[in-house]
Amino acid sequence: MTIDESRLDSIIDEYNGEQGSLISILQDIQAQYQYLPREAMDYVAMRLKIPRVQVFGVATFFKAFSLKPKGKQRIHVCMGTACHVRGSKMVLEELERKLGIKAGDTTLDNEYTLETVNCLGACALGPVVVKNEEYRGQMTPIKVGSLLDTKKP
Ligand code: FES
């Protein structure tokens, strides 16, 4: 991937290139790209004058950071306790089957990213699935097809 160094410079400069701002810098980069491109992390290491392994260490330590590109559409399946007891595992398995990917992955055409979360704060509606920003409650394996574009598998 080709990265726009001027975009990265403006983020890094906002924090005066301070090594102590590494996490904030990575958060801002992820907000721009929806993930942390390897080239961007290399560039940050160079600009902050810290070893690349330190940047990669932080990026892999925090679950909020993603090193993989995200799809155009993001589907989150709640696996919190309330949703779990109502069958969210079966909902997730059906989505994995229909999309041909595992949770945490993105389809080859970059259309969908499937992820799990622990609680979306809407337990009474469980099992809950969020497609992009839209909450869908009382989800079942049969209903998950309605989350996907009909032209998709
Ligand atoms: S456990 Fe799923 S919304 Fe709370």
- pLDDT tens for 66-97 read 898 889 999 999 999 999 999 999 999 999 99
Strand 134-136 and strand 129-131: the pairing is antiparallel
Question: Is 151 within 8 Å of 98 (Cβ atoms)?
Answer: no
Distance, in Å, from the CA atom of 82 to the CA atom of 114, rounded to the nearest integer, reads 20
Distance, in Å, from the CA atom of 96 to the CA atom of 93, rounded to the nearest integer, reads 5
Question: Tokens 């950071």 label which residue?
Answer: 65
Question: Is 103 within 8 Å of 92 (Cβ atoms)?
Answer: yes
- pLDDT tens for 1-49 read 678 899 999 999 999 999 999 999 999 999 998 899 999 999 999 999 9
Measured in Å, residue 123 CA sits from the centre of ligand 1 at 4
Domains of the chain and any CATH numbers: 5-61 (1.10.10), 73-144 (3.40.30.10)
Give the mutation target among 77, 85, 120, 136 for probing the ligand 1 site: most ligand atoms within 8 A of CB: 120
